[in-house]
Amino acid sequence: MTRLVVISNRVAVPKARGVTGAQGGLAGALNAALKDRGGLWFGWSGQESEDRTGNMNLQRNEGVTTATIDLSTRDVDEYYNGYANSTLWPLFHYRIDLTEYENETGKGYERVNDRFADSVMPLIEDDDLVWVHDYHLIPLGERLRQRGATNRIGFFLHIPWPPTRLLTSLPFHKRLVMTMLDYDLIGFQTEEWLASFVHYCENELGAKVDRSTGQITHEGRTTIARAYPIGIDWDHFQAQGDTGEARQAQQRLLSSTRHRTAMIGVDRLDYSKGLPERIDGIGRFFDQHPERTRDLVFIQIAPPSREDVDSYQNIRSLLEQKTGQINGARSEVDIVPIRYVNRGHSHAELFGFFRAAKIGLVTPLRDGMNLVAKEYVAAQDPEDPGVLILTEFAGAAHQLGAEGKGAVLVNPHSRDALARAIHNALDMPLEERKQRYEAMIGTVRDENVHAWTMRFCTDLADD
Ligand code: ADQ
């Protein structure tokens, strides 16, 4: 089997033992694929120094080598906080109101992609399969080709691909997309994002597209673009659910909510996750059904992320303010309707919380896939499953909300729709909850992250 080289912004450096067992999720799946084939994982160490040191840190464990480099403070400002997280992330999540269009950070982004290419190129061998991940590294394939790489090189985008009319607001958008034609295979989370990409290639580049094969040809370059919906690490997550830590977490939540139904949200603190809109929807539900304040408690777990970016600081204070208003208006001596927890939890604890919560509220305004929705379903008791309320605008809705079965789909922008969905979920009979759970669980179990890795790598090696 050909060796695999994974390149992503950050590298999950494996522990000395039990690499996949300890991590789970994407990191675990990539490590498993790397271990199967033997391989290398390259990226940024997460460290920054005043001036870049040029040093590479290499570690080897059970057939997997990780190689990391540090970035300079300027690189982190321009590439990571700047172009990646203040330009591409908001734009690709349809938030041109939050998108910063700065040529300077764009140059920093290109410089760091060149730097990645320079650093990783000597580590790539002739027959290696190379798999580049996410919006931080869109031009990396082109940069590797410029340095002579003739390998099969694939790219997977974890976030949505925006509609053409939004993408054209980005200066130099053609230059960015043209770089993607140097990949042999491009993966998107859903057919919807794939269709937006194909639309752009046809209408803005004038590329020739063969929809049956996914082939896109332009100016002598051909790539293949397809949808590869990512899944959770099912086995790892189930094993987490079987621990004392998970059972304790479940018990803790159950005993603290007593006779009330617990409804849970778990998200990184990010404006794409629709958190203020979610709180507004809950507020509308309590306004419409004040007598049910004694029936429902909402727990939102949202650890801070990307705190160096301004728009992320604003979301935190907005959320605290909205939560405070509802709690101020509706609390009793023995009741607080919303609990807002500003820190992360282990997957074992999350499993326990998900199982204790009879409603899972996953309402991003836009999300590439959303693995929390799948984890919530995976943690349910088949004999007494909870209800998943899921945004229409996440990739996961394509798999879990089809034909009115499975998740209760909701428009996350509408307070009334959210309030109605909560009301519906709160009173849903056991029979319907079971039917909806049955409609989702097979997909969550079988279309897991290992199947996803296998599908992408097989196509990349074969096509
Ligand atoms: P994210 O935006 O980070 O990922 P998501 O897929 O929901 O979104 O979560 C990834 C993981 O983080 C999940 O395993 C979840 O359990 C964990 N997590 C989230 N909040 C947590 C919390 N409060 N405490 C502890 N753990 C938490 C990006 C894209 C998604 C896409 C993934 C994978 O934005 O659309 O699904 O990549 O491709």
What would the pLDDT profile of 200-256 be if each residue is shown by its tens digit? 999 999 999 999 999 999 999 999 999 999 999 999 999 999 999 999 999 999 999
**Residue 34 alpha carbon to ligand 1 centre in Å:** 22
Separation of 268 CA from ligand 1 center, angstroms? 7
Query: Mean pLDDT, the chain, as a whole number?
Result: 94
pLDDT in tens, 330-366: 999 989 999 999 888 999 999 999 999 999 999 999 9
- Residue 430 Cα, ligand 1 centroid: separation in angstroms? 29
Q: Is 344 in the pocket of ligand 1 (CB under 6 A)?
A: yes
Q: What is the pLDDT of residue 23?
A: 58
Element (H, E) at 151: none
**Exposed / middle / buried, residue 291 (Cβ in 10 Å: 0-12, 13-18, 19+):** exposed
Which tokens go with 3? 């060796």
Mean pLDDT of 297-312: 90
Average pLDDT of span 117-132? 97
The vertex-303 CA angle with 299 and 308, nearest 5°, equals 145
pLDDT reported for residue 463: 67
Assess whether pLDDT exceeds 70 at residue 18: no
In the reported structure, the alpha carbon of residue 227 is separated from the centroid of ligand 1 by a whole-number distance in angstroms of 19
Q: What is the mean pLDDT of residues 313-334?
A: 92
Q: What is the pLDDT of residues 151-206, one digit of tens each?
A: 999 999 999 999 999 999 999 999 999 999 999 999 999 999 999 999 999 999 99
**Gyration radius from the chain CA atoms:** 22
CA of 371 to the centre of ligand 1 (A): 6
Q: How far apart are CA 217 and CA 322, in angstroms?
A: 49
- Could you tell which of 268, 312, 444 is best to mutate to test the pocket of ligand 1, judged by most ligand atoms within 8 Å of the CB? 268
Ligand 1 lined by 417 (C-beta under 6 Å): no
Tokens 């849903």, residue? 428
393, 423 Cβ separation under 8 angstroms: no
Q: Answer yes or no: is the C-beta of 279 below 6 A from any ligand 1 atom.
A: no
Which two structure tokens, joined as six digits, stand for 264?
Answer: 């849970």
What residue type is assigned to position 43 of the chain?
G
* Residues annotated as part of the active site: 158, 367
For residues 70-91, average pLDDT: 97
Decide: 158 in ligand 1 pocket, CB within 6 A. Answer: yes
Residue closest via CA to ligand 1's atom 20 equals: 267
The pLDDT-based confidence of 22 (bands split at 50, 70, 90) is very low
Q: Which has more pLDDT, 37 or 325? A: 325
Cβ burial, residue 46 (10 Å; 0-12/13-18/19+): middle
Cα–Cα distance, 443 to 351 (Å, whole number): 18
Question: Which residue minimizes the CA distance to atom 22 of ligand 1?
Answer: 344
Predicted confidence at residue 389, as pLDDT, reads 98
CA of 25 to the centre of ligand 1 (A): 9
| Residue ID of nearest Cα to ligand 1 atom 11 | 371
Please give the DSSP secondary-structure letter assigned to residue 154: E
> What is the mean predicted confidence (pLDDT) over 278-303?
96
Q: Indicate the pLDDT class of residue 14, thresholds 50, 70 and 90.
A: low
431: tokens are 């029979």
- Predicted confidence (pLDDT) at residue 307 exceeds the cutoff of 90: no
**Spatial separation of the C-alpha atoms in residues 226 and 236, rounded to whole Å:** 27
The answer to which of 20-34, 301-315, 396-410 has the lowest mean pLDDT is 20-34
CA of 390 to the centre of ligand 1 (A): 15
Quote the pLDDT of residue 285. Answer: 98
From the CA of 302, give the closest atom in ligand 1. Answer: 23
- 275 band by pLDDT with thresholds 50, 70 and 90: very high
Question: CA nearest 399: which of 384, 377, 383?
Answer: 377
Tell whether the model's pLDDT for residue 21 goes beyond 60.
Answer: no
218 class by beta-carbon count within 10 Å (0-12 exposed, 13-18 middle, 19+ buried): middle
- Whether 303 is in the pocket of ligand 1, judged by its Cβ within 6 Å, is yes
- State if residue 170 touches ligand 1 by the CB under 6 angstroms criterion: no
Question: Counting atoms of ligand 1 from 1, which one is nearest the CA of 230?
Answer: 38
pLDDT tens digits along 423-460? 999 999 999 999 999 999 999 999 999 999 999 999 99
Mutate to test the pocket of ligand 1, among 371, 391, 452 (most ligand atoms within 8 A of CB): 371
Residues 6+ apart with CB under 8 A from 437: 377, 380, 382, 385
pLDDT of 19 over the 60 cut: no
Any ligand 1 atom below 6 A from CB of 230: yes
CB atoms inside a 10 Å sphere around CB 308: 12
Write down the residue that tokens 């790598």 correspond to.
Answer: 457
Whose CA is closest to atom 10 on ligand 1?
371
Residue 105 has pLDDT above 60, yes or no: yes
pLDDT score recorded for residue 20 = 37
Pocket lining: 268 vs ligand 1, CB cutoff 6 Å: yes
372 within ligand 1 shell (Cβ under 6 A): yes
Q: Is the CB of 369 under 6 A from ligand 1?
A: yes
Residue 418, burial from CB neighbour count under 10 angstroms (0-12, 13-18, 19+): buried
Q: How far apart are CA 293 and CA 261, in angstroms?
A: 10
Going by C-alpha positions, the residue among 33, 35, 41, 79 that lies closest to residue 58 is 41
What own/partner pairs with CB < 8 Å and gap ≥ 24 does 455-460 have? 455/228, 456/131, 456/154, 456/156, 456/185, 456/187, 456/228, 457/4, 457/33, 457/37, 457/129, 457/131, 459/154, 459/185, 459/224, 459/226, 460/129, 460/131, 460/152, 460/154, 460/184, 460/185
